[in-house]
Structure 1
Amino acid sequence: MTRLPDQISKWFAARGWSVHSHQQAMLERAEDPALLLIAPTGGGKTLAGFLPTLADLATGDHRGLHTLYISPLKALAADIKRNLRTPVDEMGLPIRIEDRTGDTPASRKKRQRADPPHILLTTPESLALLTSYEDAPRMFAGLKRVVVDEIHALAESKRGDQLFLALSRLQAMCPGLRRVGLSATVEDPGAIAGLLACHPDPCEILQADPGPDPDISMLETKEKPPWAGGGAAYAIPAVMDQIKAHTTTLIFHNTRAQAEIFFHNLWLANDDGLPIGIHHGSLDRVQRERVEAAMQRGELRAIVCTGSLDLGIDWGDVDLVIQIGAPKNVKRLVQRIGRANHRYNAPSKALLVPANRFEVIECHAALEAVRAHDLDGDPRGPGPRDVLCQHILIRACAGPFDADTLFAEVISSGAYTGLTRPEFDACLTFCATGGYALRAYDQWQRLQQRPDGLWQLRDPRAAQLIRMNIGTIQDTDTLKVRLKRNRGGKPLGEVEEGFAATLSPGDTFLIGGQIVRFESLREMVVEVSRDPGRKPKIATFMGTKFATSTQLSQRILALLKAGDWSALPSHTQEWLELQAELSQLPRAGRLLIESFKQDGRENICVYGFAGRNAQQTLGLLLTKRMEEMGLAPLGFVATDYATLIWGLDRLTDAGPLFEPDKLRAGLDQWLAGNALMKRTFRSSATIAGLIQRNTPQARKSGRQANMSSDIIYDTLVKYDPDHLLLRITREEAMRGLIDFGRIEEMLSRISGRIDLLRLPHISPFAAPLLLEVGKTPVQGEGHERLLAEEASRLMQEAGLPP
């Protein structure tokens, strides 16, 4: 297909538009088995993905589902539906377009299975659910194309793994299925293409003209950034000036709690009463949709947001993006920058606002990376097996299956091409029996093998429970927040269960930009009333706490080494010069450890530049080693670039602290009894189908789910330590919050080259760490020595013998 049908050509001409070269290329290569299009934001990549579909439907008589569009966001699916509906209606094409997400009414979902539209817009979870029905082959019988939008966002998560497994199932039902991936920000096109390919057929890559470089810089403020913290309150006046100077501004934050704080402070400074909204994942859906609708109508001057607006919703009036706090990840920053000037060949305008002094350096390094088109990203490794276990159960819901056939499907797509047959069989056995220690319990006997060799559900009624728990998103345990009324008031959003447990009547907190007062907890709902006149607590929204990427950390170290800091603000230059004068600057090929006395305690500061999660883990492991060496550590605090440890005794030789074998042995010992493992186990066990959060009766509370998963975890550790889920848990923990791989990368990078410097006092780089929140105490020998000394002093004061 190389020529557009007349209806489509006339529609382009009526607007004075011409087809972009990458859109024409998509038409010409419509029969490629798989194709990845990388095009800049505003470059018409979504229309490019749909042009072959529109051309085919305009000239043919297709019955049933023709094209499946998959988006990582429900809001994006709804936005695409709106944007696609307009040209289809104006062209007079008889094409039915519908979306199907968690918000779609049940009656429409049922009708869609019996009478699907030509184009269905959905999410990975809804697609997985569709493949679980016995009538799935009939619904997908005529499917010709799958378009995966913002594929880079899905490729980095378990949602993507679930999607690619679902695609392997669709390919088996529709052998001629064509796959298309769309993205604006891809650091490794070959890796994304490998995920999208239907092996052995390759996925080709089509690169569009990238367009002009973004107009991006750091925001200049009268106030200097503080030494620590993440709120950037100092920049509120300067940000307000930018809002006044632009039509519409998106103000991105890395966490939901920080977005709430900033929005609250912005409103206090909003003397002109400009319309400003807030948008994040913990807000009530109705409130989010109201904000989105106001944005589309051009009624808001600014919106404070989080990753909930990272992806490509098309708001043409946005002419400025502000990133509050260091972006931590260059690719995420580029994605957010692309929200501004959502038009082809129009440069996006963005400003970075460092939250503290060190983030000035990080923001500068990120700016350099963006200008050099140097995106970051780490390889994800093999496909997670908890997702595979869920996929096997989903396949069983659709009817009996042959294990050999399913294995061939699984290894044809995504991150599972390297899966071995024994690994697959272990997952199948787990789905069938629960594993050795659980096989005696009836509730985990879910699959059985028939005499003809096919596998099926042991009890067909189990399909309902499996379908109710499909998905890989493990939201934190949350409770609904509502305004108090006689019969349940207006929903405001959600807060974490642990935060709600700390509230007493009269306590205030922020949600949706409002200060509310806690009244009561009734039937798992937090009831509140408005209380605008008081200082709020901040709800501990989980959100995502990003760690600085490996590549960005390397850029920071290179910047420190360069010695030319003329592009940095004068206050930051002076800070670096003081550090170099008193101590030295961290270097990529060596590990700098500073030793000094502060407030009567011995301190060491370890500049690992391994990211927040790894530096936190390093603090735990090093204090454990220091305990073993008799150095009496008392506590530590970690940031993205360093770990500060304080204790009673001085470190004179750092070498023994960093012996890789002993660090790993300490990690193994620590993990064995750590609460983090239970939390990771609960997540994997829920995805794998061992624990059901949703039941036909009700959703289990977080506390109920924790109790059941903890009991199972303790049972497996005691009676079946090699259980599949325990192995999965360890793998997940190692590459998740623990991030031990970054520690190993650091050890490899320094290769034993350690500089232990004894300083006369705290260094300029170490000082801000003492201001950081999140200090972790160490309850060991040092703590006991302090108690003994205090007891002795008190006894002497009382006139008693020591």
Structure 2
Amino acid sequence: MSRLPPPLADWIAARGWRLHPHQQAMLDRADEPSLLLVAPTGCGKTLAGFLPTLAELGPKPGPGLHTLYISPLKALAADIRRNLGAPIEGAGLAIRVEDRTGDTGAHIRRRQRADPPHILLTTPESLALLLSWPDAPRIFAGLQRVIVDEIHALAESKRGDQLMLCLARLERLAPGLRRVGLSATVEDPPALGRFLACHPQPCAVLTADPGPDPDIAILDTETPPPWAGGGGRHAIPEVLDQVRRHRTTLIFHNTRAQAELFFHALWLANEDALPIGIHHGSLSRETRERVEAAMVAGALRAIVCTGSLDLGIDWGDVDLVIQVGAPKNVKRLVQRIGRANHRYNAPSKALLVPANRFEVVECLAALQAVRDRTLDGEPRGPGPRDVLCQHILVTAAAGPFGADALYAEVTTAGPYAGLSRPAFDACLDFAATGGYALRAYDRWRRIMLRDGQWQLRDPRSAQAIRMNIGTIIDTETLKVRLRGRGGAPLGEIEESFAATLTPGDTFLMAGQVVRYEGLHEMTVEVSRSPGRDPRVAVFNGTKFATSTLLTHRILDLFQQSRWPDLPDHTADWLALQRKVSCLPRADRLLVESFPHDGREHLAIYGFAGRNAQQTLGLLLTKRMEEQRLDPLGFVATDYATLIWGLEAVTDPAPLFDPTRLRDGLEGWLAGNAVMKRTFRASATIAGLIERRHMGQRRSGRQATFSSDILYDTLLRHDPGHLLLAITREEAERGLVDFGRIEEMLARIGGRIDCVRLPRVTPLAAPLMLEMGRVPIEGAGRQRLMEDQAAALMAAAGLG
């Protein structure tokens, strides 16, 4: 059990503060080898994580690194350094706290390696880079504790897998290392504990008082939500009214493009000239920092934002959160709600704004899940092997290693506890040769075995390995800057969007309309162009799929006899659907067929999430082609796929045969661009493709060209290559999400309700209005052209 040093205890007492029970418990259980603290936002969980460190270091600590703090965000590390400064300086503790991220200067990083601080605040990528240096054993020899903040966010990405491999290495360099995980949103604490702990050690879980229920509701609007799309702009008057009534409001969106559109519309309607900012990941660092500084100073009444403000930075006096669009994920919603009233035992206040009519139902399901304290989360798969390949190269950059020792070390990392030795050896062989088809090329033969130890074939390659550390894949983007000497940077847009621009075109960036002037040295130069109708930059923001938990709750809502919690316009819509057809159920698949506008339509209500429903559309139209049903196209949402064509489907059951769908997926993936896109990401992480060469970032086109050639070469000459196997796993789990299709098929157990109707149904009508239609170039399209040609010739008297 640790006790606070008297100066710190006196400093706390002088302010009339007392430790919360979970903070005292963290002190009492400081010797636990692994400890996960689950505590609501605003209850001081980060300080709770540091209290044992402050107690152990005392007023006059000796030299050397004692504690590593790791967060998903660079800005969060800097924020923690500011917050820790108050008790350390106030109590007169001689504790050095520094952060080390991609923004830290080279001279400071060199000094930190030679003379590390007592507490180092960093990110997974910067830790991996530190571990790649030969002097890592000296730097970390005295390390006592690692604190992983917002661990739930890291556990959901490859950054978390990389971090756990790094912790396995730290455990070897500093035996007896204690691990602490901090999170406010954990759906399965034991599972997250297994992710954090050094396998096979157990992880203790400490749960704080969850505090009061949040004050959360759906925003009432005079104008009903549109039937499809919308982006929430129908609610602009009511949102502005809420901004006027509160000190600071965060207005969250799910994508960056939606945030830009909403901010633009909000600003045009802002007749009171309320100070409003915008914050998202495609904006320049300078722009984001200006907004953050204004938030801290209390100078903004509202900030339109995305996931860039999801995590635990306490920027200012936020007393309201508005979520525009269905949150898609209960855990994400809880995280965002926690940004409001960032204080212990103070209820957070939040409003949900459905962007369209169906999202009213989804928002109600999410609201009820929050009130029931039910969180969602998909089961984690095994640790990805492309991350392991990179870790092997990083280990080699630090010095020679033995295969047996490294395998034993890797399997202590939670995500890799079940890794087989043949799977490990395949990754080791890849690092040594590049694989069968590439072993003749020196550039991919990076490590070799000498005297029983694996080491770099060329020591100079360590620099290239370090420049390419990380699992975040750079998008193909170009910088955007105002034209003129010293023009201010605004942010980034995707290369594919920039390629469509001609001088004079306008688009939204950083909340303002800008005019494209030209491309200069790979930078998009623009000028301000107010008062024009803009296009919208194509930001590479994530399009979230509705979680399995939320879809099940929606399906449960459908089975209610009436819906008193829904607004009348939505309840009447569902009642009409039940009257003319039926509502989808969890244990059955509803398939509707009907004619409309001279085409036959098939609506499949799978509730499998957007990616899976999109994949389902591709696979089903392929099956329909084989059955000569002549499909012409499809569109997908989170809850349904709508297919249109020339022939009616009388019996849809054969279309959903699991074996046939799996076979169709295999054939489709073999020649699809999804695989090349996924291959490029995995090959970059694994080290086959460099994202930076000789200190220079390679352009997106260069990287794509290289990866496409490699993919085609491996597919032709080495179809069993490790990277192709990894690519298939990643494609099925990510962009394709075939697992959700399999979950749907297992859930319905072959029970399909096919309803034939004379016209479009209430539930299918919004699907007809959806953007993103995918045309099918097949026999149906050819048949249409032939019919149109025959009609034209007949009209001309040539039939």
**TM-score, normalization: structure 2?**
0.99
Q: Is the 8 A contact 2:252 2:324 kept in 1?
A: yes
Q: Is the 8 A contact 1:256 1:541 kept in 2?
A: yes
Runs ≥4 residues deviating over 4 A: none
Matched to 1:555, the amino acid is R
The aligned residue for residue 66 of structure 1 is 66
For the pair 1:98 / 2:98, whether they are aligned, the reply is yes
The aligned residue for residue 734 of structure 1 is 732
Matched to 1:717, the amino acid is L
The aligned residue for residue 790 of structure 1 is 788
Matched to 2:213, the amino acid is D
Shift of 1:697: 4.9
Paired with 2:782 and 2:588, the residues of 1 have a C-alpha distance of 35
The aligned residue for residue 248 of structure 1 is 248
Write the mapping of 1:509-588 to structure 2, written as runs, cut at 5 A: 509-588=507-586
Shift of 1:479: 0.5
**CA deviation vs aligned residue, 1:150-202 (integer Å, no higher than 9, x gap):** 00000110000000000000110000211000001100001110011112221
Paired with 2:653 and 2:144, the residues of 1 have a C-alpha distance of 61
Shift of 1:320: 0.3
Write the mapping of 1:244-283 to structure 2, written as runs, cut at 5 A: 244-283=244-283
The aligned residue for residue 399 of structure 1 is 399
Matched to 1:675, the amino acid is A
Identity of aligned residues (%): 72
Paired with 1:643 and 1:4, the residues of 2 have a C-alpha distance of 59
Shift of 1:800: 2.0
Shift of 1:533: 1.9
**CA deviation vs aligned residue, 1:353-396 (integer Å, no higher than 9, x gap):** 00000000000000110011110001121000000000000000
Paired with 1:105 and 1:273, the residues of 2 have a C-alpha distance of 39
Paired with 1:666 and 1:323, the residues of 2 have a C-alpha distance of 38
Paired with 1:614 and 1:794, the residues of 2 have a C-alpha distance of 40
**CA deviation vs aligned residue, 1:709-767 (integer Å, no higher than 9, x gap):** 00000000000000000000000000001000000011111111111111111000000
Matched to 2:72, the amino acid is P
Shift of 1:475: 2.9
The aligned residue for residue 8 of structure 2 is 8
Paired with 2:685 and 2:209, the residues of 1 have a C-alpha distance of 40
SS of equivalent residue, structure 1 residue 180: strand
Paired with 2:335 and 2:625, the residues of 1 have a C-alpha distance of 45
Write the mapping of 1:433-512 to structure 2, written as runs, cut at 5 A: 433-450=433-450, 452-486=451-485, 489-512=487-510
Q: Is the 8 A contact 1:390 1:470 kept in 2?
A: yes
Shift of 1:234: 0.3
The aligned residue for residue 332 of structure 1 is 332
The aligned residue for residue 409 of structure 1 is 409
Paired with 1:103 and 1:5, the residues of 2 have a C-alpha distance of 33
The aligned residue for residue 216 of structure 1 is 216
Paired with 2:138 and 2:85, the residues of 1 have a C-alpha distance of 26
Shift of 1:455: 0.3
Q: Is the 8 A contact 1:230 1:258 kept in 2?
A: no
Distance 1:595 1:380, change over 3 A: same
Q: Is the 8 A contact 1:65 1:116 kept in 2?
A: yes
**CA deviation vs aligned residue, 1:534-569 (integer Å, no higher than 9, x gap):** 110000101110000001000000000122301100
Matched to 1:168, the amino acid is A
Shift of 1:316: 4.6
Q: Is the 8 A contact 2:218 2:353 kept in 1?
A: yes
Shift of 1:60: 5.6
Paired with 1:559 and 1:71, the residues of 2 have a C-alpha distance of 38
Paired with 2:3 and 2:663, the residues of 1 have a C-alpha distance of 64
Shift of 1:655: 1.1
Q: Is the 8 A contact 1:65 1:139 kept in 2?
A: yes
The aligned residue for residue 748 of structure 1 is 746
Q: Is the 8 A contact 1:316 1:341 kept in 2?
A: no
Shift of 1:3: 2.6
The aligned residue for residue 679 of structure 2 is 681
Matched to 1:392, the amino acid is I
Matched to 2:35, the amino acid is L
Q: Is the 8 A contact 1:264 1:513 kept in 2?
A: yes
- How many residue pairs align between the two structures? 799
Q: Is the 8 A contact 2:437 2:717 kept in 1?
A: yes
Paired with 1:800 and 1:199, the residues of 2 have a C-alpha distance of 79
1:623 to 614, 621, 625: 621
Write the mapping of 1:618-657 to structure 2, written as runs, cut at 5 A: 618-657=616-655
Paired with 1:729 and 1:413, the residues of 2 have a C-alpha distance of 22
Paired with 2:200 and 2:739, the residues of 1 have a C-alpha distance of 31
For the pair 1:134 / 2:127, whether they are aligned, the reply is no
The aligned residue for residue 237 of structure 1 is 237
Q: Is the 8 A contact 2:386 2:682 kept in 1?
A: yes
Q: Is the 8 A contact 1:3 1:27 kept in 2?
A: yes
Paired with 2:623 and 2:526, the residues of 1 have a C-alpha distance of 47
Shift of 1:521: 1.0
The aligned residue for residue 798 of structure 2 is 800
Q: Is the 8 A contact 1:284 1:492 kept in 2?
A: yes
Write the mapping of 1:749-768 to structure 2, written as runs, cut at 5 A: 749-768=747-766
Q: Is the 8 A contact 1:315 1:342 kept in 2?
A: no
The aligned residue for residue 315 of structure 2 is 315
Matched to 2:177, the amino acid is L
Paired with 2:696 and 2:102, the residues of 1 have a C-alpha distance of 17
SS of equivalent residue, structure 2 residue 659: helix
User: Which range moved further: 345-354 or 195-204?
Assistant: 195-204
SS of equivalent residue, structure 1 residue 437: helix
**CA deviation vs aligned residue, 1:492-520 (integer Å, no higher than 9, x gap):** 11000100011011000101001111111
Paired with 2:61 and 2:655, the residues of 1 have a C-alpha distance of 71
SS of equivalent residue, structure 1 residue 352: strand
Q: Is the 8 A contact 2:432 2:445 kept in 1?
A: yes
Write the mapping of 1:31-42 to structure 2, written as runs, cut at 5 A: 31-42=31-42
Aligned alpha-carbon RMSD (Å): 0.9
Paired with 2:795 and 2:520, the residues of 1 have a C-alpha distance of 52
Shift of 1:798: 2.5
Paired with 1:164 and 1:609, the residues of 2 have a C-alpha distance of 33
Q: Is the 8 A contact 2:216 2:350 kept in 1?
A: yes
**CA deviation vs aligned residue, 1:229-265 (integer Å, no higher than 9, x gap):** 0411100000000000000000000000000000111
Distance 1:219 1:67, change over 3 A: same
**CA deviation vs aligned residue, 1:572-618 (integer Å, no higher than 9, x gap):** 01000110111100011110011101100000100000000000000
Matched to 1:368, the amino acid is Q
Write the mapping of 1:717-728 to structure 2, written as runs, cut at 5 A: 717-728=715-726
Q: Which runs of 5+ in 1 are unaligned?
A: none
1:771 to 769, 772, 776: 769
Matched to 1:688, the amino acid is A
The aligned residue for residue 150 of structure 2 is 150
Paired with 1:394 and 1:521, the residues of 2 have a C-alpha distance of 37
Shift of 1:12: 1.3
Q: Which runs of 5+ in 2 are unaligned?
A: none
The aligned residue for residue 667 of structure 1 is 665
Shift of 1:82: 0.6
Q: Is the 8 A contact 1:243 1:249 kept in 2?
A: yes
**CA deviation vs aligned residue, 1:61-91 (integer Å, no higher than 9, x gap):** 3211111000000111111111111111111
Matched to 2:231, the amino acid is G
SS of equivalent residue, structure 1 residue 562: coil
Q: Is the 8 A contact 2:298 2:316 kept in 1?
A: no
Paired with 2:219 and 2:333, the residues of 1 have a C-alpha distance of 15
**TM-score, normalization: structure 1?**
0.99
Q: Is the 8 A contact 2:632 2:644 kept in 1?
A: yes
SS of equivalent residue, structure 2 residue 437: coil
Q: Is the 8 A contact 2:504 2:515 kept in 1?
A: yes
Paired with 2:467 and 2:533, the residues of 1 have a C-alpha distance of 41
